[in-house]
Structure 1
């Protein structure tokens, strides 16, 4: 009997045997193309519009998840970040003026309410609408920045990294407030139907921070999030070129709700084969599709060949979800997205 997408996704994350390798396509603003008259601003300012785009994309393209993904201002607008609206199609709303410039500014942050502050309500509304339509048949995910990642959305990356060195205590005060806000936001998403979080530990990459820095300024707050959100399945995501697998695997050992890692296996170390050999018996792997090259500029046959290679590399023993290394480009030809689904069913059959 054919599994539902939820059954397939759960089986893969829990190292049980699904009928096929599941596919999770991070459509993001690519999905606005499937709703006549929709644009990025309408998508990014209305939960109903976001849900409409997710549902249209899912119905047209397929896959095994619905993934709520907006721009990086969703939370931090509540702390006064100003957004830059796109002047051309297919461009995200961008972070503008940062409210945190000096170390003392971290103490000015207050815990936000996900129901009223920033644009967090969008995820709650979108999750509720999608959950009402699909029930427990389709896993609904949310893209959720970690506390340390969020510091670089409320303050420049350069200043945040400098504060690690010059004013660590001030930065940690900000991290505590951010952690409280994100934990509340995640639990509110669960209450509205979310099943998993693409948990953006994007600063856990060695070209950005050292392992020692991340263990001090990232890991304690990530672990607090995992403790306080037991009903959410977490898939840490790192789109850098030297992701700290060892830290994510530590999370998996400590927390039952940390199931997998998502990363750009086609352009980072380790690659898929290396990760499967070193971590893939216990930490599920979400990867295999190159969103920067094959998916956006290849042919459907190129996409199918890459999917075949990924399945041959990582499907044995389960614990594998086909996915791009990050949000797909809005310029991606949609037949390539459909080709990924078809190839997964062809080459990912158990």
Structure 2
């Protein structure tokens, strides 16, 4: 019997082996990501074309700061560029105290909820859809750029007031999407690294507000992924977060895969493929990564994905080959794993 993507993911979350190792990948869709209906349509076609086991929605990277008053320049998007902030919403420490709390059903946030609703109408629960959100400290950094670190170190109480407001809005936005049928969130964290803040600073300005969001969505979700971006990450601060899965740049930064398996046996690993190998079309390297991840995890509690978004533009013939190879090789791994298990029992 062929499993649906939702059935396959649910089995993995229960610690069971499905018919194969599930997988997914994602990339930006800058030519349509300001049009909610076109974004939903292309996202659905992307999922169908490559037979993904979960969908991470891909809004433009500035969607969460538009409603706070940031002015964004999207003019380079049609040529493959990225959105840029031309005016920050927070320019002085006192601005955190009066930071607006947007109505999540209107403006840019409302636009993304419309896109999600349209996407969910097409998937009909056959595949889990994850809503992309950012950690509060990541959003704060987007709201004022490099000034945030000066505010964090010299005006901590003002920044904390802003973080509390951001966390409330983030939770409210996520709850709306989850009520519409999203399985959970993809919680993108770009600040939990020594390249941005110290560990003590992240404990004080990151962890409490992350938990404020994640705890608020627990009654509505069943598949939440924390993405820890970058290198030299504070992964040990997040192994006890109330989420089912952790995604990071495996092979590029600590923790080592085996160490994480031992340190967080209750968490699903989402990752295992370096996105640069997809961009470069290094299929042989991808196969080696699949085999090594499968060996370490014994094919359990693993969802194969890149460590981060595949850079735009993507070569779709490569993605199709990656999809085919993952399906083929993960089935082989499962057959070998089951054979070895049976021999051990005998």
Q: Could you tell me the TM-score, scaled by structure 2's length?
A: 0.90
**Matches for 1:24-103 after TM superposition, within 5 Å:** 24-29=24-29, 40-41=30-31, 43-87=32-76, 89-103=79-93
Distance 2:289 2:215 in 1: 37
Once the two structures are superposed, residues 244-278 of structure 1 have per-residue CA deviations (whole angstroms, 9 ceiling, x without a partner) of 22111121xxx3xx111111112111233332243
- 3-state secondary structure, aligned to 1:288: strand
Q: Is the 8 A contact 1:13 1:319 kept in 2?
A: yes
Once the two structures are superposed, residues 291-346 of structure 1 have per-residue CA deviations (whole angstroms, 9 ceiling, x without a partner) of 1x211013434433333333233343x21111111111123321221222222222
Structure 2 residue 330 is matched with structure 1 residue 348 = yes
Match of 2:281 among 286, 290, 298: 298
Distance 1:14 1:109 in 2: 41
Residue number in structure 1 paired with 2:130:
141
Query: How many residues end up aligned between the 2 structures?
Result: 329
Q: Is the 8 A contact 2:23 2:304 kept in 1?
A: yes
Once the two structures are superposed, residues 225-247 of structure 1 have per-residue CA deviations (whole angstroms, 9 ceiling, x without a partner) of 12211212321111210222211
Distance 1:218 1:112 in 2: 21
- 3-state secondary structure, aligned to 1:96: strand
Residue number in structure 2 paired with 1:161:
149
- Deviant stretches of 4+, over 6 Å: none
Q: Is the 8 A contact 1:179 1:224 kept in 2?
A: yes
Gaps of 5+ in 2: 335-346
Q: Is the 8 A contact 1:311 1:347 kept in 2?
A: no
Gaps of 5+ in 1: 30-39
Residue number in structure 2 paired with 1:108:
98
Distance 1:308 1:122 in 2: 41
Structure 2 residue 302 is matched with structure 1 residue 320 = yes
Higher relative contact order (CA 8 A, sep 6+): 1
Q: Is the 8 A contact 1:147 1:222 kept in 2?
A: yes
Q: Is the 8 A contact 1:14 1:259 kept in 2?
A: no
Residue number in structure 1 paired with 2:13:
13
**Matches for 1:195-206 after TM superposition, within 5 Å:** 195-206=183-194
Match of 1:289 among 254, 258, 273: 273
Once the two structures are superposed, residues 176-195 of structure 1 have per-residue CA deviations (whole angstroms, 9 ceiling, x without a partner) of 11011101100011122211
Distance 2:208 2:307 in 1: 25
Distance 2:321 2:257 in 1: 20
